[in-house]
Amino acid sequence: MNPMPGILAVRWAGALLIALRLAGALVLSALNRAEVRRHAGRPPAAVSAIMDGPTHARAVDYTLAKSRFGVVSEILDAIVLAAALFSGVLPALFARVSSLGAPGAAWTGAVFLLATGVILSAAAVPLNLWENFRLEARFGFNRSSLGVWLGDQLKHLALSLAIGFPLLWALLSIVRWAGPAWWLWGFALVFSFQLVMTVAYPVFIMPLFNRLDPLPEGPLRDRLLALGERTGFRAAAIQVMDGSRRSVHSNAFFTGFGRFRRIVLFDTLVAQLTPAELEAVLAHEIGHYRRGHIPQRLALSAGILACALALVAWLARAPWFNPAFGLPAGAIAPSFILAGLLAGPAAFWFSPLSNLLSRHHEYQADAFARDATGGPASIVGALRKLAEKNLTNLTPHPWFSAFHYSHPTLAERERALGGG
């Protein structure tokens, strides 16, 4: 059978995926800008209850500036992706790296994957610089210096090489050893690695970027520990992270599982909220644990990973997939790269489904926080302050929200809580 028709179809399908993804993103962005401008002069009553006029005006300006930046970013991302797939740079790079070792060697495949990742990441550096030091700085959010930013980039690169190469080498070695069923063994390897990193990340990697100090003894620590006791959530430590070193934005989360759980609060969050509001934020995070969201997300992640590896295994055997982009049929490393590059444009259209599940979990965690703190006042107060401090867009277009917001809007959360 002549594979040429299949090769041409795959090339056209790849180009169509990129074009549709770009068109969809630009249309959603335009709809969102129009919705934001519509409410700019006369915000809804629910918005006026959260932000005063000058703050809402700044939030509108921030949203529109981010949207304009997003348009440029989407267009450049599409150009880089199209260039990677259709310019011949990947076949040239693969040929060059493969010539360094024996045909099909696992280590050359790992080098090819890492080199491609580094090149694609480097293409995004100018945009990242502009976003941090022009856009975020313009609205008073960026606190990082150029030295800190460059140090972060070098650390990320070093970690990618130090951790990524052994993992990819092991995965590609499994492909050669296990034969057609390699994806089952590969799933076991990668998923086990993810579980190990859940524990190792806060202990060994986070401290490379941020200082983590124990929450000082005092009424706040006692209050949060008491919350953990009465909600059945025990953590190894409550830590404060120096997030203000890089940004004014704030957050709270917990990492690890079992006896390795750690609660992490940004120092900006501690400064912005009252003790009662901090307790509500922590109760929200505990709600994710108590409602079983963590194992649910792990199970979903495992299912997606298994399906993705099975798909790569099938595509690598297809005589039309790799050759459609100038790469040798049956070579597994190129199949990983090509599948990964095409997955982004395809997955975009499924993002409302993942966001729907995430929003359901957020509603449940909010309800848990309300019940754990004796009413909606504290969690609503915390959400309102965070929206104000972060200049959150309170009037997104519903379609834009469906595709881009993993959390419900503040108005939706307040209605669900009975606080608005």
Instruction: Return the DSSP state at 406.
Output: S
Q: Are 361 and 288 in contact (CB under 8 A)?
A: yes
Which of 18, 96, 58 lies closest to 348, judged by CA? 18
Would the CA dihedral through 222, 225, 227, 230 be positive or negative?
A: negative
Could you confirm whether 35 is annotated as catalytic? no
Alpha-carbon distance of 62 to 12, in angstroms, equals: 38
Q: Give how far Cα 396 sits from Cα of 32, 35, 135, 359, Å.
A: 6, 6, 20, 15
Q: What angle do CA 46, 50, 51 make, to 5 degrees?
A: 115
Which of 355, 400, 349, 351 lies closest to 31, judged by CA? 400
- Name the active-site residue from 35, 77, 279, 366: 366
- Name the active-site residue from 285, 362, 388, 414: 285
Could you confirm whether 285 is annotated as catalytic? yes
Amino acid residing at 117: G
Alpha-carbon distance of 408 to 387, in angstroms, equals: 12
Which of 176, 290, 272, 281 lies closest to 230, judged by CA? 290
Residues carrying an active site annotation: 285, 366
